[in-house]
Amino acid sequence: MKPGKFITLEGGEGAGKTTQAKRLKEVLDSANIENVVTREPGGTFGAEAIRDLVLDGTHERWSGMTELLLMYAARLDHMEKLIKPALARGVWVICDRFSDSSLAYQGCARGLGADRVAAVHKAVMGGFKPDLTILFDIDPILTQKRVKTRGGELSRFDTETLEFHKKLRQGFLDIAKTNPERVKTIDAALSRDAIAAQIRHIAMKQFEGLRLG
Ligand code: TYD
């Protein structure tokens, strides 16, 4: 049995990842590739409970390091109970955010530093990493408008300053620069259809022999 592929979607707030996760699922479904869509922080019962803790409240509720450890507690549960078992059964996993978010948010925007995040990552996850990461890149000025008009409750991160979101964007772009094989950047200001087409194309290129309609 061939293991499934692990695809993560990353980027700042309101960049359209969630919509594209669903679109990618439809594409895989029509190619008869069994798949599951999940998200971080969350994805399992325990990790969703940690998600509530980490997203609710004010900025000051958690320090950067506490936030990082909560993210990794959730991630370990998610990896052990959902991601790894699915991949082992040959199921593809599409994950809305993963460890690059910890590097960009806690490491860069919150200022913990890449080294500390990498050390926690290694201790908790070993060498585990996605087979493909799609980075949704967009000017935070555009997304701040989207986030405010999309309705629903704002999380602790949605209400951060523009400065925070600029650092975040740079953090993600640096990750893409240092991991060109794994991380592919797309312009998230494009239309939904154009982005979906790009992702399909990127996946076919990344996974040799993959045919998507
Ligand atoms: P969510 O509402 O899912 O955001 P979005 O729709 O933009 O993906 O909330 C997840 C928040 O958690 C988001 O603001 C990013 C943050 N986060 C981190 O700070 N570190 C992490 O490791 C992860 C996975 C998420």
The per-residue pLDDT for range 80-98, each reduced to its tens digit, is 999 999 999 999 999 999 9
Residue found under tokens 């990082």: 68
Q: How far apart are CA 68 and CA 82, in angstroms?
A: 20
Q: What is the number of other CB atoms lying within 10 angstroms of the CB of residue 127? A: 6
Q: Which atom of ligand 1 is nearest to the CA of 156?
A: 14
- Report the percentage of the chain scoring pLDDT > 70: 99
Span 141-153, mean pLDDT? Answer: 75
User: Strands, DSSP E only, in the chain?
Assistant: 6-11, 35-39, 92-96, 132-137, 183-187
Q: List the residue whose alpha carbon is closest to atom 19 of ligand 1.
A: 105
Distance 102 CA to ligand 1 centre (A): 9
Query: Are 120 and 69 in contact, with CB atoms under 8 Å apart?
Result: yes
Beta bridge partners of 11: 136
Split into its structural domains, the chain has a count of 1
Tell me: the pLDDT tens digits for 176-206?
999 999 999 999 999 999 999 999 999 999 9
**Residue 53 neighbours by CB under 8 Å, 6+ apart:** 70
Q: 97 CB under 6 A from ligand 1?
A: yes
Span 118-139, mean pLDDT? Answer: 97
Q: Which atom of ligand 1 is nearest to the CA of 97?
A: 24
**Binning pLDDT at 50, 70 and 90, where does residue 76 land?**
very high
Lowest pLDDT segment from 10-19, 23-32, 33-42, 184-193: 10-19
92: domain range?
6-206
Residue 43 lies in a domain: yes
Distance 2 CA to ligand 1 centre (A): 31
| Residue 76's CATH number | 3.40.50.300
